[in-house]
Amino acid sequence: MASTAGVAPEVGAPPPEESGRRRGRTGYLLLIPGVVWLALFFVIPFYSLVATSLYDPNGSVFRGYEMTWEFSNYWHALQDYWEPLLRSLWYAALATLICLVLGYVLAYAIAFKAGRWKNLMLVLVIAPFFTSFLVRTLSWKLILADDGLVVNTLQALHLMGADGRLLATPFAVIAGLVYNFLPFMVLPLFASIDKIDHRLIEASSDLYANPFVGFWKVTWPLSLPGVVSGTLLTFIPAAGDYINAQLLGSPNQRMVGNVIQNLFTQANDYPAAGALSMILMILIVVMVLVYVRKAGTEELL
């Protein structure tokens, strides 16, 4: 499973050399089955989603929907659900930032300080995440519970009022997101930091840079590819997640995933659900493009 460590930085970037590749039909034959599957069940569904988001909202799943090009579905979805939408992006951004701090420390420790324990530590990073996502999240619910260890300790230390609680607060939801998406941050960061030539950091200290300046001018810029792919791999699933909000939060912490899920499965309001899904996707694509462009230029500076 350690091979996934190399996954993220490669994402999107075409392999460099073009030489040594065979010409002919075989390449296409190998690609066809996978491409057909992805086209049928990933690309075409997007068209269905766009279509669904533009259906007449007066239809129903049972009577069928009419295509009336209802662009107002988008406007209504925004009006009704701007709050969970913004909350999702905000929680996901905060969780990503905290993941970056925790993940960087861990990845740095594994890459530079772990010595012969490097492989073992890498395995330990992934191991807890083989237990079911939901079971793990439920166990956080127990840890943060009102009469649980954490709350009782905080209350005994008077860091928290007697009626204070952690469950059903934004804290619990963001903590859950941080926990569940941490490996998506650590693995790409590790892949990037592990590649850094240690002599460059030594050179900076030989030239009288203190460790902080050395980190900021040498290590951090060299690890940027890992930072970019790690933050993306954390932010995107966190923004769409609703498991943490549902199990650890209250209706006040509802995220956009909860709303979409309910509109599809309980309210059966497909056009609104489709429109909201599209809005989430568009927002994420725009944010990612801006972010990648910005990170890319910073890298050049």
Partner 1 sequence: MRWLREHLVLILGILVLIYTFIPIFVVVLMSFNDPTSRLIYRFDGFTLHNWLNPCEPEGMCSALKTSVEIGLLATLGSTILGTLMAFALVRHQFVGRSSMNLLIFLPMATPEIVMGSSLLALFVASGFAGQLGFWTILIAHIMFCISFVVVTVRARLAGMDDNLEQAAMDLYATPRQTFWRVTFPLVFPGILGAALLSFSLSFDDFIITNLNAGNTTTFPMFVWGVAQRGIPMQVNVVGTVMFLVAVLIVVGGEVNNRRRQRALT
Is 161 one of the binding residues for partner 1 (CB under 8 A)? no
Distance CA 229, CA 180 (A): 17
263-282 binders of partner 1 (CB under 8 A):
264-265, 270, 273-274, 277, 280-281
Nearer to partner 1, 128 or 296 (CB): 128
178-207 binders of partner 1 (CB under 8 A):
179, 182
Matching residue, tokens 């086209």:
39
Distance CA 102, CA 234 (A): 13
Other residues' Cβ atoms within 10 Å of the Cβ of residue 38: 11
Is 89 one of the binding residues for partner 1 (CB under 8 A)? no
Out of 167, 236, 245, 272, name the contact with partner 1 by CB under 8 A: 236
Is 239 one of the binding residues for partner 1 (CB under 8 A)? yes
Distance CA 101, CA 207 (A): 27
Q: Name residues whose C-beta falls within 8 Å of residue 236's C-beta, 6 or more positions apart in sequence.
A: 284, 288
Out of 59, 136, 160, 262, name the contact with partner 1 by CB under 8 A: 136
| SS3 at position 249 | coil
Is 57 one of the binding residues for partner 1 (CB under 8 A)? no
Is 24 one of the binding residues for partner 1 (CB under 8 A)? yes
Is 12 one of the binding residues for partner 1 (CB under 8 A)? yes
Nearer to partner 1, 46 or 82 (CB): 46
Is 63 one of the binding residues for partner 1 (CB under 8 A)? no
The dihedral built from the CA positions of residue 70, 73, 74 and 75, taken in this order, carries a sign that is positive
Out of 54, 77, 89, 106, name the contact with partner 1 by CB under 8 A: 106
Segment near partner 1 (CB under 8 A); pick from 103-111, 153-161, 193-201, 202-210: 103-111
Is 48 one of the binding residues for partner 1 (CB under 8 A)? yes
Matching residue, tokens 């950091």:
201
Q: What is the DSSP letter of 25?
A: S
Is 81 one of the binding residues for partner 1 (CB under 8 A)? no
Q: Hey, what are 257's tokens? A: 């995933």
- On whether the CB atoms of residues 264 and 277 are closer than 8 A, the answer is no
Distance CA 177, CA 94 (A): 9
Out of 86, 142, 203, 286, name the contact with partner 1 by CB under 8 A: 142
Nearer to partner 1, 95 or 125 (CB): 125
Is 227 one of the binding residues for partner 1 (CB under 8 A)? no
Is 126 one of the binding residues for partner 1 (CB under 8 A)? yes
Out of 63, 79, 116, 147, name the contact with partner 1 by CB under 8 A: 147
- On whether the CB atoms of residues 238 and 181 are closer than 8 A, the answer is yes
- On whether the CB atoms of residues 296 and 124 are closer than 8 A, the answer is no
Segment near partner 1 (CB under 8 A); pick from 133-141, 154-162, 163-171, 197-205: 133-141
| Run of H or E residues at 75 | helix 72-108
